[in-house]
Amino acid sequence: MRALLSVTDKTGIVELAKNLNSLGVELVSTGGTYKKIKENGIDVTEIDKITNFPEILEGRVKTLSPYVHGGILYKRDNEKHVNTINELNIKPIDIVVVNLYEFQKALEKGNPDDIIENIDIGGPSMVRSAAKNHKDVLIITDPKDYDELIDRLKNDNIDLAYRQKLAMKAYNFTAFYDSVIARYFSNLTGEESIYKTYGFEKESDLRYGENPGQKAALYNDPFVKGLMENIEVIHGKEMSYNNFNDLNPAIELAEELGENAVVALKHQSPCGVAVGDNVYDSYIKAFECDSQSIFGGIVAVNGVVDEKAAEKMHEIFLEIIAARDFTDEALNILTKKKNVRLVKVDYFNELVTEEVKYLNGKVLIQDKDNGEDEINVVTNKKPTDDQIKDMLFAQKVVKYVKSNAIVVVKDMKTLGCGAGQQSRVWALESIKDHFKDRDFTGSVLGSDAFFPFPDTVEIAHEMGIDAIIQPGGSIKDQDSIDKCNEYDMSMVFSKSRHFKH
């Protein structure tokens, strides 16, 4: 039996070589792997003794040879294949241990020449050849599989199911590797082909999905350094599927609103959002928006949680508190509760540029809703500068509220978020009915889409709302404009719709 070892990640390779050698397996190796094995006193043959040809082009060509691929790909139970191999004096290769050039690391460093040189050619070719002929050849691409390989060889326990599992891992490995390269060239050229590739690397299994009967896992997208890329859970229980799912929009909105923003979120929709003079001020304002819904929710802070803010947060049960950082005094307070998850977020990471939604056999891909809202006054009365600030704040928030969505804002804090209603009027009525004693005088209203009728304006007027921002675009826009003029309200068309389903 003969094994070919050619790895970039040399974790465990010396121990593997020793074990294979002790089992009587002849070793063939390449470049740095050969040197590593040889310098540890293990008997190994260099690849050019097999190919009868030296490595050329700075290592670009070393294993692309019939003496390698013929030894891997021939069918052991096919007489014609066996005769061909014997006639050409090609020796069999029964085990292939390969992992690939570190393209991702080269990508992170950003040197264009280095990126191209780290596109592996020979490695994926050997992996695919061995995986194709898995019935006769064992293909190992993961150092974590070395121990099982040796154990099975020692116990003569190499069955077809094991071979197929290794082939599955091998093809997933090369597909993942190629997907990263494909995305690099798409980004480089700004072009897309008819094929869209994503490569995800499993980070961990989760206890369950949205409900206990659903399996779930967390995967990492190595091509995107987004806000969720290097979050750090520094205290509390293990994160769940729902925790990750809710944390994402909370920190996205906090990032978009900037310094000192606090976002309280429950079940994928904000329930209280504010930007104050400091984190404590912002939290108090966000809490006051909906002190009931925030219970058991998520709080995202674009800033550092200090002792004063921590004391207030500690007063109620929160699933997650996510922030840029926590002072030592804040940690002393918040860690008294064993179950609250404290998460550190790098708000300086890049934002993702697209969203992917998997349907039942189809996939939807769209750009992220990162457009800026305009201020086009369409009424006789103009909004004040402070109202315009509140309007733009409202439209940032409304992007994260499930449609149909209405957000009411005053002084850079939400007074109500109406989410997920079949009617935009109902969304506003839900705010009005839920906060019966709240003073909405002088507030502004933000809407995710246009008003088909003036009834929303009528209810807003009843509540004391003084200004409205909405995209416009209805054939009955003038009806809403006329109603605002009748009530001496201002209205602004933003030109940007913000549906979130």
Instruction: Read off the pLDDT of residues 144-179 as tens digits, 9 standing for 90 and up.
Output: 999 999 999 999 999 999 999 999 999 999 999 999
| Count of other CB atoms within 10 angstroms of residue 493 | 21
Among residues 81, 165, 196, 267, which one is catalytic? 267
Output the CA torsion 74→77→78→81 (10° steps): 30
Residue 89 reports pLDDT greater than 80: yes
Instruction: Give yes or no: 69 in active site.
Output: no
Residue 256 tokens, joined: 């978009």
Residue 456 tokens, joined: 């929303």
Alpha helices in 76-235 (DSSP H): 79-87, 103-109, 112-117, 122-132, 146-154, 160-189
Residue 394: predicted pLDDT: 96
> Whose CA is closest to 374, among 395, 399, 353, 354?
395
Q: How confident is the model at residue 372 (pLDDT cuts 50, 70, 90)?
A: confident
| Count of other CB atoms within 10 angstroms of residue 81 | 15
Alpha helices in 302-351 (DSSP H): 307-313, 328-334
Start and end residues for every CATH 3.40.140.20 domain found in the chain: 227-344, 376-493
> Whose CA is closest to 197, among 213, 211, 186, 212?
186
Q: How far apart are CA 269 and CA 397, in angstroms?
A: 9
Q: How far apart are CA 271 and CA 413, in angstroms?
A: 11
Residue 61: predicted pLDDT: 67
Residue 464 reports pLDDT greater than 80: yes
Furthest-apart CA pair in the chain: how many Å?
96
Instruction: Give yes or no: 132 in active site.
Output: yes
Residue 141 tokens, joined: 């691409």
DSSP state for residue 61 in the 8-state scheme? B
140 forms beta bridges with 97
Q: What is the pLDDT of residues 105-149, one digit of tens each?
A: 888 888 888 889 888 888 899 999 999 999 999 999 999 999 999
490 forms beta bridges with 467
Q: What is the pLDDT of residues 230-262, one digit of tens each?
A: 899 999 999 999 999 999 999 999 999 999 999
> Whose CA is closest to 347, among 319, 330, 325?
325
Among residues 18, 38, 132, 237, which one is catalytic? 132
CATH level 3 topology of 2-189: Rossmann fold (3.40.50)
Q: Which of 57-61, 89-93, 378-382, 448-452 has the lowest mean pLDDT?
A: 57-61
| Count of other CB atoms within 10 angstroms of residue 276 | 18
Q: How far apart are CA 174 and CA 127, in angstroms?
A: 8
> Whose CA is closest to 464, among 489, 485, 486?
489
Residue 106 tokens, joined: 């080269």
Summarize the confidence of residues 470-493 as an average pLDDT: 95
- Cβ-Cβ contacts under 8 Å for 40 (sequence gap 6 or more): 14, 17, 18
* CATH assignment of 227-344, among 2.30.110.10, 3.40.140.20, 3.40.50.1000, 3.40.50.1820: 3.40.140.20
Q: How far apart are CA 194 and CA 377, in angstroms?
A: 42
CATH level 3 topology of 376-493: Cytidine Deaminase; domain 2 (3.40.140)
pTM of the model: 0.87
Summarize the confidence of residues 407-423 as an average pLDDT: 93
| Count of other CB atoms within 10 angstroms of residue 31 | 16
Summarize the confidence of residues 264-284 as an average pLDDT: 95
Start and end residues for every CATH 3.40.50.1380 domain found in the chain: 2-189
